[in-house]
Amino acid sequence: MANRLAGENSPYLQQHAQNPVDWYPWGAEALEAARSADVPIFLSVGYASCHWCHVMAHESFEDQEIADLLNSRFVSIKVDREERPDLDQVYMGAVQALTGRGGWPMSVFLTPQGRPFYGGTYFPPDGRHGSPSFRDVLLAVSEAWENRRVELEDGARNLVAAVERGIAFPVQPARDGLSADTLDIALGGLLGAFDTEHGGWGSAPKFPQPMLLEFLLRRYAASGNPQALAAAVTSLEAMARGGIYDQLGGGFHRYSVDEEWLVPHFEKMLYDNAQLARVYLHGWQLTGERLFRGIAEETLDYVAREMTAPEGAFYAAQDADTEAEEGRFFVWEAAEIRQALGPEAERFVEAYGVTDEGNFEGRNVLSFRGTPDERAALADARDKLLRLRMERTRPARDAKAIASWNGLMLAAFAEAARALGRDDYAELAERNGEFVLNEMRTGDGRLSRTWMAAEAKGNGFLEDYTHVIEGLIELYQATFDPRWFEAARGLADSMIDRFGGAGGFWDTSCDHEELIVRPRQVQDNAIPSGGGMAAYVLQRLAQLAVDGRYARLAEESLGAMQLLLSRYPLGFGQWLVALDYALGPARSVTIAGDPAGAACQLLLDVIHRDYRPHQVVAAGDPAAADLPPLLRGRSTKNGQATAYVCTRAACGEPVTEPARLEAILAESGEGG
């Protein structure tokens, strides 16, 4: 029989709806059930494409004996971390305080009041992998609750205090304003920790770090530091060639299990691909390296092909497993390739590192070892194998839309549309912008967190507002339709009212459900922190809206974070991007004229040709209504489309000739 999760629309919760465990979704009913029965809560947190979540579900949550233990001695709650990042953050803080590490599935035991007192991640059903058996854990926790409850409750109070201290990360206001020294110190720290052999940072497992790569590219653009560019290029090339990149279908897997980017953990997340597509696009703009452009386009084409809903939403993730086997959809036996490609096979086998013994459980994860010319020459072979692969059982797809992740991907498509001249990307970006504003924004201007099967759900979090604002700003700059700017400004004002706090922003709104602590995560993780992105988008809005209030809020947040950025740069990539923007050669370019007109397009081609990360662009007919304030007072010169370039508070002469505009942009720094 189905349990209480059957009525939920989260794909992750639906995966557990037929478990013999009497699961509750998080909510008042579950908490009241625990209080009434006077039993502890078992809280299990995961997500739909999580491999080890699937393993624990099969081993333990489908096991009747374990289910009987849970049902008789606990109230069991299942949470999709992608729906409720606030709960995930609060209770992950507890697990990390208890064990020194975290991950998913997350398994936490709570008092009926929701206070954590014990937890971990994956527990096997029997003792292995150095972990106690889940059965023994359940029996021990139940026994302790019955016989040592005062001790557990005292520990829970201490643990909540520790979580609160961890979330309220110590910040110190800048005494002398924002300092370029912070950027130099942070860059030195990143370069010192950099893996010069394989690119990136750290060892196995190895994660892409798109925010840090973006910071390196921006530092090069602003200062010309060759080490920053070299580190970024090394990383981009290594990942593009490795198995972490899907060499046939495009797009990146979640992480590499080795330090060489060869064998991935095969799930694909929307947020990784959104951020990496933009970094590769920027890498191409800076270097002209066609491999980087190819990776950016192939990644976006993958999302357009496999991760886009008819309504315009972007789906959340693609699973790692098919047919109960991790990576089965993506790997190849050498014989399969030889049979499929015939005479072309040997060239492909050599270029993509294919061997008879394989590099992953007897099969091959493809990695590219050839030259860019060879890659281009093997395009038909890749297409042939991709068509063959699409006949296999495909990985499950998490078909919900998450506002913040959609904002990241919206920004990627919008920026790529103008940089690459791809009208199809622009159309897809506009459809997504319409979707988010029509389906995930309420009548009072709030954002919902998720959308699934025509139903929007949950209060939006800070990251939802900031990341959607970023996407809308990029969409405005791709289309120059003022409604996208107005929507971004409206969300920013709502964000300030509902999430603002002393020295920054909370992750939950002022009217959100009250938890044991109010989360305020300042560190960037797999996606940019809401605070770090707020400090970035508010600066860009300040330029477009000519509103110093936005800039002051961003500067306050950055000032409070400076010490952390210099000490721990690996954890604050988005904050470093925001600080780089604040201290860089900030520039605004406005074009008075019809954005669709040929003369205006020639000027825009110059503006969009190079990587200029410290720049905002506005364009519009001076006679039109609802123009962004940055455009007000601009006029055409002799009836021609006219460009105005301003750096900080200084503006140059208006120009109508593309060559003159290019010279001015080059003189004012960055690109050209």
**pLDDT, tens digit, for every residue of 531-587?**
999 999 999 999 999 999 999 999 999 999 999 999 999 999 999 999 999 998 889
Handedness of CA 550, 555, 558, 560 (dihedral sign): negative
Give 212's contacts (C-beta < 8 A, 6+ positions apart): 190, 201, 569, 570, 573, 576
**What is the rounded CA–CA span in Å between residue 358 and residue 333?**
7
**What is the rounded CA–CA span in Å between residue 41 and residue 30?**
9
Query: Which of 405, 430, 639, 434 has its CA nearest to residue 526?
Result: 405
Work out the burial of residue 301: count CB atoms within 10 Å of its CB; fewer than 13 is exposed, 13-18 middle, 19 or more buried.
middle
Q: Is the peptide bond before 519 cis (omega within 30 degrees of 0)?
A: no
Give 493's contacts (C-beta < 8 A, 6+ positions apart): none
pLDDT at 502: 79
pLDDT at 501: 86
What residue ranges in 41-101 does DSSP mark as E strands? 41-46, 75-80
pLDDT at 641: 96
In degrees and rounded to multiples of 5, residue 583 shows phi and psi of -100, -5
Q: Half-sphere exposure of residue 80, counting CA atoms within 13 Å on the CB side?
A: 24
Q: Half-sphere exposure of residue 314, counting CA atoms within 13 Å on the CB side?
A: 35
**What is the rounded CA–CA span in Å between residue 491 and residue 472?**
10
Are 558 and 612 in contact, with CB atoms under 8 Å apart?
A: no
Query: Which of 144, 120, 143, 142 has its CA nearest to residue 132?
Result: 120
**What is the rounded CA–CA span in Å between residue 235 and residue 230?**
9
The CA angle 666-658-638, to the nearest 5 degrees, is 125
Helix axes 180-193, 573-583, angle to 10 degrees: 140
Quickly count: other Cβ atoms within 10 Å of residue 623's Cβ: 10
Query: Which of 314, 320, 487 has its CA nearest to residue 404?
Result: 314
Which residue type does 215 have?
A: F
Torsion angle defined by CA atoms of residues 100, 171, 459 and 452, in that order, rounded to the nearest 10 degrees: -50
Query: Which of 157, 270, 152 has its CA nearest to residue 210?
Result: 270
pLDDT at 172: 60
Pick out the chain residues at pLDDT < 50.
671-672
Report the SS3 class of residue 77: strand
- Measured between alpha carbons, how far is residue 664 from residues 543, 556, 602 in Å? 19, 32, 15
DSSP string, 519-563: ----S--SS--HHHHHHHHHHHHHHHHT-HHHHHHHHHHHHHHHH
Are 522 and 531 in contact, with CB atoms under 8 Å apart?
A: yes
pLDDT at 277: 98
Which residue type does 374 have?
A: E
Quickly count: other Cβ atoms within 10 Å of residue 672's Cβ: 16
**What is the rounded CA–CA span in Å between residue 262 and residue 267?**
15
Range 90-115 burial, b when 16+ CB lie within 10 A, else e: bbbbbbbbbeeebebbbbbbbbbebb
